[in-house]
């Protein structure tokens, strides 16, 4: 699997689109609707053009996933997207029972064909299947050879028939929406079997989930449960929970503004979903310039930009990327920091395929701990600690970077609303539970595993699959032949109970002791 950090790795779908240009499927859908006598297709003026406009809002994968035997689902999707535009309806949903689609385990030879036939009831071709991430089901399932997933011999285990429902959501698209939806389903004890996720070119989402766990075929009670769950999280479905006033934003940028005329922009060396990174020069020093693309600017992104500048102004440490200034008064908005010649640890490990020797590995980990310990002692939680946000200077000193989603802890010391990147995200954050600085410690444990193994966490899973697995206790395989102290720190760091995780101050002490042992052993 070719994993590209920053693309498909965040907890919201990537925002790059290309209009669907092939009319074949649109024609097929239209003709099929006419054939079955759909009233809208046969009587509504301009229906064919409206249908084409609908498909053009989506990436090509949407059209390719449509099941022609359930072609009227396209009209349902259109209606849900229209309803999502109503500001009074931040989250629109539709629930229905899927006929002839049930949970089962069978060791017959035609198993795969049967599963495929059931899956086509959904209205889409399978996008990815998530049922085996349910650990309770996993304990009861058997493979084709009669081996269960626990490795014990078994002839066959019959799983009781269970109703399967489809839940379709439509809402204003935003970062972390997919995670919020999965947490919402989990809140009413629904297990996700499949997910089909689409973002439109005009800023909306269409998310189709196939779920089980609701014991009744009728949907009235499930609709009521869904409505109550949405009400409990009311306020979280808009794009931004708080917009700063102009006065607040101006206060953030005191002493941060640089003279744009003195900034020289060089070559681009990295790109993200909403901005690009350039090498530059400011007052005779090499700098990195993060420029937000004007066409992507919205209130939510401007707020994130404001937060990042505010955070960077507050921190100064040898293991934190040094903030130089920002251009905040007119587009393009940009942030200027010191230029880190060594690039990110993600590139070092996964693109350059470097393997770390134990002393260097421990030094890198100590650098991260020093930077994170500094942040935590200043009541700052990073919330997106991962190797892509750990940069190296010319002396191979690692520094913590990217404070776009960092926040000061609340007075109560806990936070809500998840953010971060799925492969490194703590279960309490994924589950939308209260969390504190120990969420960063969980992410560090995954980083430490990454430094030891030089592998991408859960590399054979999609980010969403990894997140669902972590919620149910999944962790990376403990690396063989690695130092016992590093294994201990990993396992304690990714403990499901945040109270069992060490602080960065304590982890730093443990690692410094390990480094002394390694160096003493080398001398002897």
The predicted pLDDT at position 160 comes to: 52
Residue 446 has pLDDT above 90, yes or no: yes
* Cβ-Cβ contacts under 8 Å for 454 (sequence gap 6 or more): 349, 350, 353, 354, 355, 356
- Please give the average per-residue pLDDT across 199-214, as a whole number: 86
pLDDT score at 87: 73
Q: Do the Cβ atoms of 289 and 277 come closer than 8 Å?
A: yes
* CA nearest to 66, candidates 33, 18, 38, 40: 33
Query: What is the structure's pLDDT at 293?
Result: 83
Q: What pLDDT, on a 0 to 100 scale, did the predictor assign at position 515?
A: 95
pLDDT single digits (tens) 415-433 = 545 566 889 999 988 887 8
Q: Where are the alpha helices (DSSP H) in 345-437?
A: 345-346, 358-377, 427-430
User: Which residues have CB under 8 Å from 146's CB, separation 6+?
Assistant: 107, 153, 154, 155, 156
CB 263 within 8 A of CB 327: yes
Task: State phi, psi for 461 to the nearest 5 degrees.
Answer: -120, 155
The mean pLDDT of the chain is: 78
φ/ψ of 355, rounded to 5, equals: -110, 130
The residue ranges of DSSP E strands in 130-203, in sequence order, are 164-172, 191-199
Q: Cite the beta strand spans of 340-498 per DSSP E.
A: 343-344, 380-381, 390-392, 398-400, 407-408
Is a pLDDT exceeding 80 seen at residue 151? Answer: no
More confident residue, 89 or 3: 89
For residue 154, what pLDDT is reported? Answer: 38
Q: What is the share, in percent, of the chain residues with pLDDT greater than 70?
A: 76
- The mean pLDDT value for 440-448 works out to 97
For 127-136, how does the pLDDT look when each residue is reduced to its tens digit (9 = 90+)?
A: 333 333 333 3
pLDDT value at position 414? Answer: 54
Residue with the larger pLDDT of the pair 32 and 273: 32
Give the mean model confidence (pLDDT) for residues 223-237.
78
Active site residues: 384
Q: Which domains does the chain have, with CATH numbers?
A: 24-232 (no CATH), 246-338 (3.30.200.20), 344-523 (1.10.510.10)
Average pLDDT (171-197) is: 80
**Of the ranges 188-197, 207-216, 253-262, which is most confident?**
207-216
User: In 10 A of CB 62, how many CB atoms?
Assistant: 21
Q: Are 451 and 415 in contact (CB under 8 A)?
A: no
Give yes or no for residue 483 having a pLDDT over 90.
Answer: yes
Tokens of 274: 């909403």
What percentage of the chain reaches a pLDDT higher than 90?
A: 35
Tell me: pLDDT of 18 over 80: no
**33-47, 80-94, 239-253: the lowest-pLDDT one:** 239-253
Q: What is the mean pLDDT of residues 480-503?
A: 95
What is the spatial distance between Cα 333 and Cα 429, in angstroms, rounded to a whole number?
A: 30
Report the pLDDT averaged over residues 347-357.
89
In sequence order, the 6+-apart residues with CB closer than 8 A to the CB of 246 are: none
Residue 357: pLDDT over 50: yes
Assess whether pLDDT exceeds 80 at residue 39: yes
pTM: 0.58
Which spans in 161-237 are helix H?
177-187, 220-232
Q: Is the pLDDT confidence value at 296 over 70?
A: no
Sequence-separated (6 or more) residues with CB below 8 Å from residue 200: 57, 58, 81, 173, 206
Summarize the confidence of residues 272-297 as an average pLDDT: 84
């Amino acid at each position: 699997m070719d994993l590209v950090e920053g693309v498909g790795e965040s907890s919201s779908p990537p925002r790059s689109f290309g209009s669907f240009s092939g009319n074949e499927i649109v024609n097929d859908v239209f003709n099929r609707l006419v054939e079955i006598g759909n009233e809208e297709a046969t009587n509504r003026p301009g229906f064919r053009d409206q249908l084409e406009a609908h498909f053009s809002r989506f990436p090509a994968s949407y059209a390719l996933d449509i099941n022609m035997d359930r072609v009227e689902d396209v009209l349902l999707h259109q209606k849900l997207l229209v309803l999502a535009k109503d500001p009074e309806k931040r989250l629109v949903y539709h629930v229905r029972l899927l006929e002839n689609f049930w949970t089962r385990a069978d060791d017959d030879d035609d198993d795969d064909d049967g599963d495929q036939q059931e899956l086509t009831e959904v209205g889409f071709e399978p996008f990815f299947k998530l049922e085996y991430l349910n650990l309770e089901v996993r304990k009861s399932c058997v493979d084709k050879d009669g081996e269960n997933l626990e490795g014990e011999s078994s002839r066959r285990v019959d799983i009781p028939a269970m109703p399967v429902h489809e839940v379709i959501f439509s809402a204003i698209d935003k970062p972390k929406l997919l995670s919020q939806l999965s947490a919402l389903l989990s809140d009413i004890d629904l297990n996700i079997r499949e997910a089909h996720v689409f973002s439109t070119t005009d800023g909306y989402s269409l998310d189709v989930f196939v779920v089980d766990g609701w014991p009744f075929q009728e949907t009235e009670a499930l609709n009521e449960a869904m409505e109550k769950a949405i009400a409990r999280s009311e306020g979280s479905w808009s794009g931004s929970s708080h917009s700063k006033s102009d006065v607040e934003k101006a206060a953030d940028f005191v002493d941060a503004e640089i003279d744009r005329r003195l900034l020289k922009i060089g070559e681009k060396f990295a790109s993200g979903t909403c901005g690009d990174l350039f090498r530059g020069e400011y007052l005779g020093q090499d700098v990195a310039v993060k420029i937000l693309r004007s066409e992507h600017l919205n209130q939510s992104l401007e707020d994130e930009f404001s937060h990042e500048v505010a955070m960077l102004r507050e921190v100064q440490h040898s293991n934190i990327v040094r903030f130089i200034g920002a251009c905040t008064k007119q587009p393009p908005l940009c942030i200027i920091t010191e230029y880190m010649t060594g690039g990110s640890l993600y590139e070092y490990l996964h693109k350059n395929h470097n393997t770390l020797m134990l002393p260097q590995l421990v030094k890198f980990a100590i650098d991260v701990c020093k930077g994170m310990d500094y942040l935590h002692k200043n009541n700052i939680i990073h919330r997106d600690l991962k190797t892509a946000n750990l940069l190296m200077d010319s002396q191979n000193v690692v520094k913590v970077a990217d404070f776009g989603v960092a926040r000061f802890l609340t007075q109560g010391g806990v936070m809500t609303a998840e953010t971060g990147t799925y492969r490194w995200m703590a279960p309490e954050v994924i589950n939308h539970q209260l969390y504190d600085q120990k969420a960063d410690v969980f992410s560090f444990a995954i980083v430490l595993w990454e430094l030891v193994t030089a592998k991408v966490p859960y590399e054979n899973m999609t980010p969403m699959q990894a997140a669902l697995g972590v919620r149910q206790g999944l962790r990376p395989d403990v690396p063989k032949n690695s130092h016992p102290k590093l294994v201990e720190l990993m396992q304690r760091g990714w403990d499901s109970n945040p109270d069992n995780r060490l602080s960065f101050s304590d982890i730093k002490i443990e690692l410094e002791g390990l480094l002394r042992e390694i160096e003493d052993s080398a001398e002897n």
